[in-house]
Amino acid sequence: MVDAALERPAAAGAVRKPSALRRRLQRKSTIAFLMTLPLILLIAALVIYPALYSLHLATLNKSMERFVGLSNFAFLFKRQTFWMVVKQSCIFAITAVIFKALIGFVVAHFVHNIPTKGQRKWRGMLLVPWVIPPAMSTLAWLWLFDPSYSAFNWLLAKFGVEAIPWTAEAGWARFSVILVNVWIGSPFFMIMYLAALKSVPEQLYEAAAIDGANWWQRIWYVTLPMMRNIIAITALFSLIVTFANFDIVRILTAGGPIDQTHVFATWAFWIGIQGGDIPLGAAVSLFMVPILSIAAIFILRDINRRGNEA
């Protein structure tokens, strides 16, 4: 009805005998399609096509002349480094996400506890790690972890603790990359949880207090159930981003010592771009797909459900 109202003056003002093409171009769905066309082209050419192309690439030999089937994958399965990368990627992503969620939750509570007046200031300050480009802040961490001039080790020495080989020893290097990731990511959780905390109705807490709930029970029976959705979706988002992380590992350890801290992204870069074996690199990065798609399915399900509720 509204469309008809729109088209009448437009048609009257237009050329006397509107051609079929022109009429078609004026139709609402055609206009809409043309408006989304750049988006569709971009996604098709630079996201969907490369994603499918990497499936094809992974089945070629190193010089990309011959189809070798699944032998790239078979080769990877036989390599010890590959399994180390799988293990490290999972440890890295899962540990980092758990700690980000915990720290984000705790900090969000503390910010929520203080008077509203001061919250803005604190929130602004605590989000700084998220704002700085990760490559830049990881450089600062690299300098803090420097083998000979580490400012942390200087502090530790004041307390009589031995110097820690932050990036030189496998266990500590793994700890360091996770620490930096947690440092960068937990402010994001904090912001999300803070927004969720604000949306929990105050009456629920009052009712719980009247029923004699202590602070732990209030968190367990009121806050957590009310925030369940946002906790899940933030964690899944973060799992995807963390699992596919590149910047931190690349700058902090470059995968070392002896490939012990490589994750899929950095190892794929190492093999595919620096090592020049594009098919093998593509094969490595494809191993990210299963865990990413599981997380994506859960996120989508959640979003669709909320879409239906709205």
Binding to other proteins in span 138-157, by CB under 8 A: 139-141, 143-144, 146, 149, 151, 154-155
- Omega of the bond leading into 257 within 30 degrees of 0 (cis): yes
Q: Which is nearer to other proteins, 76 or 278 (CB)?
A: 278
SS (H, E, C) 109-122: HHHHHCCHHHHHHH
Number of residues binding to other proteins, judged by CB under 8 A: 109
HSE-up of residue 114 (Cα within 13 Å, Cβ side): 11
CB of 204 to other proteins, least distance (A): 15
Nearest to 152, CA basis, from 130, 126, 180: 180
**Residue 75 interacting with other proteins (CB under 8 A):** no
Q: Within positions 19 to 58, which residues make up the interface with other proteins, using CB under 8 A?
A: 28-29, 31-33, 35-36, 38-40, 42-43, 46-47, 49-51, 53-54, 57
Q: What is the Cα–Cα distance from 166 to 185, expressed in whole angstroms?
A: 20
CB of 276 to other proteins, least distance (A): 11
**Residue 9 interacting with other proteins (CB under 8 A):** yes
**Residue 224 interacting with other proteins (CB under 8 A):** no
By CB under 8 A, name the one of 246, 257, 260, 275 that touches other proteins.
Answer: 246
Phi and psi at 8, nearest 5°, equal -60, -55
Stretch in the footprint of other proteins (CB under 8 A) among 67-75, 76-84, 90-98, 123-131:
123-131
CB of 170 to other proteins, least distance (A): 21
Report H helices in 66-211. Answer: 71-78, 80-113, 116-126, 128-131, 134-144, 151-158, 170-198, 202-210
Q: What is the Cα–Cα distance from 169 to 176, expressed in whole angstroms?
A: 10
CB of 271 to other proteins, least distance (A): 9
**CA trace torsion 255, 250, 123, 113 (10° rounding):** -10
**Residue 116 interacting with other proteins (CB under 8 A):** no
